[in-house]
């Protein structure tokens, strides 16, 4: 049964004496886990620890609360049912003389085509209740298991709801969420929904309000999503507050980018840089729950300063960061040696820079007949790649491909990848590759230029290359080339690369034989006049 008559009568008696509702959380064995006085349903930290749940499982607890007025289940109670993933929730009416009245029950439903999240049962007098809880919960779990298996067959990978909460306009936020969706896809995450919320600047504990945050988490459960991804970077306090509110995985844009980098890093240097960035992001967000992180104290042999587990973790992270920084310094020395050898051969360097997924690696492959991975996804290339490009008269240049940029590039990544980005300082010419088909092309160009300025690379001559012109109309391609003074081409159509090849050849021919151009000197006028040669 849902609860024993003896327990129901005891709750009714206390309700009359206290004139306040009494609620009990019962385990599936019928044991009382928590007693709650009042209408607010808040689980204790012990209960949350013992009865954790996921996006597609129940918590294993049912909640029954008394009420002095015979009223049906409210939307607020149903929200608690969905948010806490309870097996069952009920309201038991108590008359003025302490007698048991009607019992209102509701339970969650397995994901279904109607989109219905829960079912409210018809109210019945407590003594007429015929619902057998053991059989009921067994059938409900079977439905959830079947729905879970169906979902796994359809998707086979993690899913997420994307959230943007800022003072920016809805159109700006939707534009950013479109890019966040591309990042999620690049991390093999299926996007099931997007939420946009305009909020005042920087006062929200959960970034969203508590009520809106609950709605998002319920929607996550309703859609069968595994996580919530925020477009904004969550502060340590916000991340801690949200993690205390739910068992669902919650990450931000920076964490998503770091995860993508961790997947794509292949070289030892790349792996070290990614791990360093992850640890720098993690350090201020380390937190602990429960008594396992409390200081030693009380009793003989336990007095003294001691050290919490949290402090131990932080110390280990700091030690690991120091070790990785030393390793990166060693990589920097090796790069200096490689650059010195290259300088002795007198080979000019042309570096490809640009927004992620603008087509830099594809362009490198076509120019140098290489086979660098160039899939159509964000941050496909992390490791620096250098190839030779030979011109007539035995003239050569080194073409270097580096990690792509993105707006609001996490500072953890900028710091960790500084050794890689230092490679750009040795470039004689920067080829700024732009995705001509991008809807936010101005924002992408501005983001790349801003990062180059932050790295003090804006003094190096720069040539703008408008890639993917085959994906826009000829008129628009011509307009964009005139606007940005760019060379229009499609890296997938080698015949369109002739103007670029001619400009690079003219640039190499302008250099004295056996000497490199000093970085920072302007190119000759004929190398800068791009649109007029088309």
- Residues 59-100 have pLDDT tens digits of 889 999 999 989 999 888 888 888 888 899 999 999 988 899
Beta bridge partners of 65: 23, 91
Predicted local confidence at residue 454, as pLDDT: 83
Predicted local confidence at residue 519, as pLDDT: 35
Predicted local confidence at residue 291, as pLDDT: 38
User: CA angle 176-182-185, nearest 5°?
Assistant: 145
- Residues 453-499 have pLDDT tens digits of 888 888 888 899 999 999 999 999 999 999 999 999 999 988 899 89
**Do residues 29 and 57 touch, judged by C-beta distance below 8 A?**
no
Q: pLDDT category, 27, cuts 50, 70, 90?
A: very high
Q: How many CA atoms lie within 13 A of 387 on its CB side?
A: 19
Give the residue-averaged pLDDT of 141-165. Answer: 73
**Do residues 278 and 258 touch, judged by C-beta distance below 8 A?**
yes
Cα 177 to Cα 180: distance, rounded to the nearest angstrom: 5
- Residues 32-52 have pLDDT tens digits of 999 999 888 888 777 877 887
Query: Is residue 238's pLDDT more than 70?
Result: yes
Query: Is residue 292's pLDDT more than 60?
Result: no
Predicted local confidence at residue 122, as pLDDT: 92
Predicted local confidence at residue 345, as pLDDT: 56
Predicted local confidence at residue 67, as pLDDT: 93
- Residues 378-398 have pLDDT tens digits of 887 777 788 888 877 667 888
Predicted local confidence at residue 434, as pLDDT: 93
Residue 54 burial (CB < 10 Å; 0-12/13-18/19+)?
Answer: middle
Q: Which of 106-120, 279-293, 348-362, 391-405 has the highest mean pLDDT?
A: 348-362
Estimate to the nearest angstrom the gap between the alpha carbon of 434 and the chain centroid. Answer: 25
More confident: 459 or 526: 459
Query: Is residue 276's pLDDT more than 60?
Result: yes
Number of neighbours of residue 296 by Cβ within 10 angstroms: 13
Lowest-confidence range among 112-116, 211-215, 279-283, 320-324? 112-116
Predicted local confidence at residue 512, as pLDDT: 62
Give the residue-averaged pLDDT of 275-298. Answer: 64
Predicted local confidence at residue 431, as pLDDT: 92
Lowest-confidence range among 124-138, 194-208, 263-277, 405-419? 405-419
- Residues 423-448 have pLDDT tens digits of 787 788 899 999 999 888 999 999 89
Give the residue-averaged pLDDT of 516-520. Answer: 38
Number of neighbours of residue 334 by Cβ within 10 angstroms: 11
Predicted local confidence at residue 301, as pLDDT: 43
Q: pLDDT category, 155, cuts 50, 70, 90?
A: low
**Which of 262, 204, 255 is CA-nearest to residue 227?**
255
Lowest-confidence range among 42-56, 254-268, 322-336? 42-56
> Alpha carbon of 349 to those of 339, 369, 400, 521: distances in Å?
10, 17, 7, 14
Give the residue-averaged pLDDT of 514-531. Answer: 35
Give the residue-averaged pLDDT of 288-316. Answer: 54
Work out the mean pLDDT of the chain and round it to a whole number.
80
Query: Is residue 126's pLDDT more than 50?
Result: yes
């Amino acid at each position: 049964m849902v609860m024993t008559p003896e327990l129901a009568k005891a709750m009714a008696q206390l309700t009359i004496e206290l004139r306040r509702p009494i609620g009990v959380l019962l385990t599936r064995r019928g044991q009382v886990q928590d007693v709650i006085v009042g209408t607010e349903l808040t689980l204790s930290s012990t209960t949350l620890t013992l009865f954790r749940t996921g996006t597609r499982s129940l918590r294993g607890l049912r909640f029954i609360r008394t009420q002095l007025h015979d009223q049906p289940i409210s939307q607020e109670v149903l929200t608690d049912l969905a948010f806490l993933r309870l097996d069952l929730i009920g309201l038991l009416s108590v008359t003025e003389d302490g007698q048991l009245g009607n019992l209102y029950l509701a339970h969650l439903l397995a994901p279904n085509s109607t989109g219905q999240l829960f079912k409210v049962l018809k109210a019945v007098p407590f003594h007429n209740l015929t619902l057998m809880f053991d059989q009921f919960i067994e059938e409900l779990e079977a439905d959830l298991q079947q729905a879970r298996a169906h979902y796994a067959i359809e998707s086979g990978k993690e899913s997420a709801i994307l959230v943007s909460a800022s003072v920016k306009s809805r159109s700006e936020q939707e534009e950013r969420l479109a890019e966040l969706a591309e990042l999620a896809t690049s991390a093999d995450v299926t996007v099931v929904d997007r939420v946009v919320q305009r909020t005042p600047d920087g006062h929200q504990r959960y970034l969203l309000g508590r009520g809106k945050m609950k709605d998002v988490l319920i929607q996550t459960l309703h859609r069968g999503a595994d996580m919530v991804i925020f477009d904004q970077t969550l502060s340590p306090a916000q991340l801690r507050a949200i993690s205390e509110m739910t068992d669902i995985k919650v990450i931000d844009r920076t964490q998503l980018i770091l995860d993508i980098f961790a997947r794509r890093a292949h070289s030892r240097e790349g792996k070290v840089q990614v791990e360093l960035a992850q640890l720098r992001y993690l350090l201020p967000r380390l937190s602990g729950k429960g008594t396992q992180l409390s200081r030693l104290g009380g009793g003989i042999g336990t007095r003294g300063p001691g050290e919490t587990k949290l402090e131990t973790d932080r110390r280990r992270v700091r030690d690991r960061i120091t070790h990785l920084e030393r390793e990166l310094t060693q990589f920097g020395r090796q790069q200096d040696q490689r650059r010195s050898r290259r300088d002795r051969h007198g080979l000019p360097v042309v570096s490809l820079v640009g927004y992620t997924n603008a087509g830099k690696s594809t362009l490198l492959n076509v120019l140098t007949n290489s086979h660098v991975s160039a899939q159509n996804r964000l941050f496909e290339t992390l490791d620096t790649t250098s190839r030779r490009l030979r011109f007539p008269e035995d003239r050569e240049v080194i073409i270097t491909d580096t990690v792509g940029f993105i707006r609001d590039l996490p500072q953890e990544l900028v710091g960790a990848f500084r050794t890689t980005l230092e490679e750009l300082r040795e470039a004689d010419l920067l080829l700024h590759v732009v995705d001509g088909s991008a809807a936010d092309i101005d924002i992408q160009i501005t983001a790349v230029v801003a990062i180059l300025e932050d790295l003090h690379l804006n003094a190096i001559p720069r040539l703008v290359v408008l890639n993917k012109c085959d994906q826009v109309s000829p008129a628009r391609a011509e307009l964009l080339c005139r606007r940005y003074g760019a060379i229009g081409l499609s890296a997938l159509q080698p015949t369109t690369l002739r103007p670029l090849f001619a400009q690079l050849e003219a640039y190499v021919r302008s250099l004295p034989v056996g000497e490199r151009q000093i970085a920072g000197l302007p190119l000759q006028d004929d190398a800068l006049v791009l649109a007029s040669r088309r």
